[in-house]
Amino acid sequence: MMFALSILSNTYYLSPNDWLNIAFRLSLAMFFGAIIGLERESRRKPAGLRTHMLVSLAAAMFVMIILQTDVEPRDYNGLSRVIQGVATGVGFLGAGVILRESPQEESQRVEVKGLTSAAAIWLSAALGMAAGCGLWQLGLIGILLSWFILYVVKIYERIY
């Protein structure tokens, strides 16, 4: 019982030797990315399963690097900078998805495509960061809500 509680504990900082907790957080990040990626893949979107899994895993790793190397456990400046950097960097990745999907014709009408895929990539990064911080409850609620948005709300949009 104590073993399960140590894995699911909601502590930010972890020891570099805590292999089980590291593996749990990284696996959870990949799982979160896979759920979003499968939904995007099923709709034949440009950023699919592997992209979302990699974004989520990378975001978790960036966060975990600072959580394992930060000298002062109560100093959140390093963690804050990493989260800001990941959010900004993934925003550029999402911009690439939007630009890739935009039409190349010389029409005066502006049409934006790929915005939901870009938002899903950004969400994958956020879920990866939550998993990397050990916030598995936040990640589970986030993945349930994101699935609702990407799947159920899409059905609603088609009907109405």
User: What pLDDT tens digit does each residue of the chain (160 aa) get?
Assistant: 444 444 444 456 677 788 999 999 999 999 999 999 999 999 888 888 999 999 999 999 999 988 888 656 567 788 889 999 999 999 888 888 887 555 566 556 666 788 899 999 999 999 999 999 999 999 999 999 999 999 899 889 888 8
Question: What is the C-alpha separation between 133 and 130, in angstroms, rounded?
Answer: 5
Tell whether 138 is covered by a domain: yes
Query: How much is the pTM?
Result: 0.81
Tell whether 22 is covered by a domain: yes
Question: What is the C-alpha separation between 148 and 5, in angstroms, rounded?
Answer: 29
Number of folded domains in the chain?
A: 1
Tell whether 6 is covered by a domain: no
Q: Which long-range contacts (CB under 8 A, 24 or more apart) does 28-31 make?
A: 28/60, 28/131, 28/136, 28/139, 29/56, 29/57, 29/59, 29/60, 29/127, 29/128, 29/131, 29/132, 29/139, 30/56, 30/57
Tell whether 3 is covered by a domain: no
Tell whether 114 is covered by a domain: yes
Tell whether 35 is covered by a domain: yes
Tell whether 9 is covered by a domain: no
Residue 154: which domain range? 15-159
Tell whether 134 is covered by a domain: yes
